[in-house]
């Protein structure tokens, strides 16, 4: 009887949800500046991005140096390096800063009101500085190889147009940011969710899969800090000619992913208007 009654109530739409959506972050939260946790999170983003660029750019240079030998990791190995490092670093920093490690991710979460404007800006600054320092470390340890093999800098490959490169960056970043939203959605704890998830794992796999698809086109940016740090340290003109693609593409992809998740999948605007509610008191 209890089950039948519960089903009847659920069919009528009266069952309260068994998960909690966090409240939207304020646009400005000046109280954050008084908290050590705020500055700790910025430091965590800086260090994580530094480590990310150091390991991944060193892997790219090592591959190019040994491309004709059996010691090369190949493009598959490069993709694993990027995806694996994201998995590791998100695991390490998720509880401190949220584990963004990418201005496009930060931008998408800001648009979805997950972080405040000051936090988003300082995260992006920390990520870019961390990327510059990470690439600088690689160059300091392997200067001749760094310059010879392109410093891991992103540019549109020969045979592809800038439009194709931009499209690859938009779609690749959409995949990544969409995965971030889905993997961290509090609704995954709801009664109708049967797919438990360790958030860093699908995020790392998303980075891995996107690299497999787009390394031949742009070298895979999908992270403006990664592209910016490599461009600053490498400094060649071709890299700067194409550099706008690696900001515009990821930011557009992140914005589309945020809108898709918030307004289509989670139907935030529709819920706010109550369009599908027959009883306004529900």
pLDDT in tens, 9-43: 444 554 556 667 778 888 888 889 999 999 999 99
**Which residue has tokens 């009528």?**
12
Does residue 187 or residue 183 have the better pLDDT?
183
Residue 66 has pLDDT above 90, yes or no: no
Residues 76/156, Cβ–Cβ less than 8 Å:
no
Residues 233/135, Cβ–Cβ less than 8 Å:
yes
Give dist(CA 3, CA 30) in Å, integer: 49
Residue 274 has pLDDT above 60, yes or no: no
Min mean pLDDT across 5-9, 97-101, 149-153 is at: 5-9
Burial class (CB in 10 A: 0-12, 13-18, 19+), 86: buried
What are 115-170's pLDDT values in tens digits?
Answer: 999 999 999 999 999 999 999 999 999 988 998 888 999 999 999 999 999 999 99
**Model-wide pTM > 0.95:** no
Residues 53/129, Cβ–Cβ less than 8 Å:
no
Give dist(CA 172, CA 111) in Å, integer: 18
Return the number of other C-beta atoms located less than 10 Å from residue 268's C-beta.
Answer: 17
Closest CA to 154 of 81, 58, 232, 100: 232
- Sign of the torsion angle spanned by Cα atoms 110, 116, 121, 125: negative
What are 216-272's pLDDT values in tens digits?
Answer: 999 999 999 999 999 999 988 888 999 999 999 999 999 999 999 999 987 765 554
As given in the structure block, the two tokens for residue 176 are 């990544």
What are 228-241's pLDDT values in tens digits?
Answer: 999 999 988 888 99
């Amino acid at each position: 009887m209890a089950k039948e009654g519960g089903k009847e109530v659920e069919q009528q739409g009266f069952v309260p949800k068994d998960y909690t959506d966090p409240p939207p972050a304020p646009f400005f939260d000046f109280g954050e500046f008084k908290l050590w946790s705020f500055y700790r999170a910025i430091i965590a983003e800086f260090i994580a991005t530094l480590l990310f660029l150091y390991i991944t750019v060193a892997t790219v240079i090592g591959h190019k140096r040994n491309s004709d030998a059996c010691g090369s990791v190949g493009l598959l190995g490069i993709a694993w390096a990027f995806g694996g490092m994201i998995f590791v670093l998100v695991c390490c920093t998720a509880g401190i800063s949220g584990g963004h490690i990418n201005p496009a991710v930060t931008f998408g979460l800001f648009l979805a009101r997950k972080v405040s404007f000051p936090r988003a800006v300082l995260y992006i600054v920390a990520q870019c500085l961390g990327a510059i320092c990470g690439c600088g470390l690689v160059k300091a340890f392997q200067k001749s190889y760094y310059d010879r093999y392109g410093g891991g800098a992103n540019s549109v490959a020969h045979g592809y147009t800038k439009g194709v490169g931009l499209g690859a960056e938009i779609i690749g970043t959409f995949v990544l940011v969409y995965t971030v939203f889905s993997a961290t959605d509090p609704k995954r704890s709801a009664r109708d969710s049967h797919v438990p998830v360790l958030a860093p794992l699908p995020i790392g796999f998303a980075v891995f899969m996107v690299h497999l698809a787009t390394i031949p086109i742009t070298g895979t940016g999908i992270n403006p800090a990664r592209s910016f740090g490599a461009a600053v340290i490498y400094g060649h003109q071709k890299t700067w000619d194409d550099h706008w693609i690696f900001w515009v593409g990821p930011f557009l992809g992140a914005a589309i992913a945020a809108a898709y998740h918030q307004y289509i999948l989670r139907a935030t605007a529709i819920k706010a208007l109550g369009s599908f509610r027959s009883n306004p008191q529900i």
